[in-house]
């Protein structure tokens, strides 16, 4: 630490806390290990109908950004059209932004596969735990949250990015009544031979009544074949271009939005948004800001 100016004083450095936020590590029946549940709630009585709520996957990476975005915008609702509400982030007992091994299992649709370890002397990577993760959210987490804070069940939103965006789509196709607003940012639609597209086709074919939800899909400008300027001329430029042809994040998300827009039985709202200047990871805070605007949009 640099020296203080003459005649000045300072308190000892203290940890930074996020006002209104708490967390608890909970072991649910539908999980082999504890999850870290981070909660933000406004410091005031809930409205008669309860608070609107936004659930986040990859909670360690997403929580603080979403909370700050909500606090800033809800402080000026007439200018932002954002009201106060509750944020619940589902993460893991770690100080890092991700637990790669556990999120690979939780956020990926079944049946899943087994992949080599991320690092030497670590377990194989397993995918396919999405159905179990969804059941944990629906049967255990949501009831527990409603014991902690009054919730408006008609205004529940799920957000996910990357694998989380893939899980959001899986959850939508598996249980469309679980949430009212679904936000899938940079979804890994290509994953495991595009299995989620098979699920989408089966889901849409099974619709026999109007579906009134909101679906928001997004991707960054540099998640297609267009490389970010700092990748042009790099040693891995060709490899990145080949990878983009496989993942096709922009193309697959946009096409999904177009399919839903053409559905006769879809009476809700679907949007696709491409974020200028963003890549797969830099998109996250931008997408979280939009998630706050979607989840906490003031009721008309």
Known active-site residue 75: no
Of the candidates 35, 161, 216, 280, the residue annotated as catalytic is 280
Known active-site residue 237: no
Known active-site residue 188: no
Quote the CA–CA distance of 266 and 78 in Å, as a whole number: 31
Q: Which residue has the tokens 């080599």?
A: 116
Of the candidates 162, 186, 188, 218, the residue annotated as catalytic is 162
Of the candidates 84, 200, 223, 278, the residue annotated as catalytic is 223
For residue 62, how many other CB atoms are within 10 A of its CB? 27
The pairs formed by 164-169 with CB atoms below 8 angstroms and a separation of 24 or more are: 164/56, 164/57, 164/58, 164/103, 164/107, 166/107, 166/108, 166/109, 166/191, 166/196, 167/57, 167/106, 167/107, 167/108, 167/109, 167/130, 167/133, 167/134, 168/57, 169/196, 169/199, 169/200, 169/256
| DSSP states of 7-59 | T---PPP-----TTEEEEEE--TT-SS-EEEEEE--SSPPPTT-EEEEEESSH
Q: Residues with catalytic annotation?
A: 162, 223, 280
């Amino acid at each position: 630490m640099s020296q203080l100016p003459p005649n000045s004083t300072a308190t000892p450095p203290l940890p930074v806390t996020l006002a209104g936020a708490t967390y608890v590590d909970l072991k649910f029946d539908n999980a082999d290990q504890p999850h870290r549940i981070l909660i933000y709630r406004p410091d005031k009585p809930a409205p008669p109908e309860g608070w609107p709520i936004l659930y986040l996957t990859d909670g360690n990476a997403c929580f603080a950004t979403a909370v700050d975005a909500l606090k800033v915008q809800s402080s000026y609702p007439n200018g932002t059209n954002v009201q106060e509400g509750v944020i619940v982030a589902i993460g893991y007992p770690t100080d890092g932004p991700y637990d790669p091994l556990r999120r690979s299992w939780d956020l990926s649709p079944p049946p899943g596969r087994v992949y080599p370890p991320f690092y030497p002397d670590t377990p194989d990577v397993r995918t396919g735990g999405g159905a179990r993760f969804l059941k944990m959210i629906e049967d255990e987490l949501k009831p527990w949250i409603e014991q902690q804070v009054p919730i408006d069940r008609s205004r529940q939103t799920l957000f996910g990015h990357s694998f989380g965006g893939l899980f959001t789509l899986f959850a939508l196709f598996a249980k469309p009544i679980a949430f009212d607003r679904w936000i899938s940012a940079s979804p890994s639609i290509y994953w495991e031979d595009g299995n989620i597209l098979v699920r989408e086709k089966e889901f849409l074919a099974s619709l026999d009544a109007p579906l009134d939800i909101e679906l928001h899909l997004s991707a960054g400008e540099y998640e297609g074949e267009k490389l970010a300027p700092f990748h042009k001329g790099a040693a891995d430029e060709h490899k990145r271009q080949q990878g983009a042809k496989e993942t096709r994040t922009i193309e697959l998300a946009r096409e999904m939005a177009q399919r839903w827009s053409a559905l006769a039985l879809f009476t809700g709202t679907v949007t696709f948004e491409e974020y200028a200047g963003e890549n797969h990871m830099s998109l996250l805070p931008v997408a979280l800001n939009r998630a706050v605007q979607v989840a906490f949009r003031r009721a008309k």
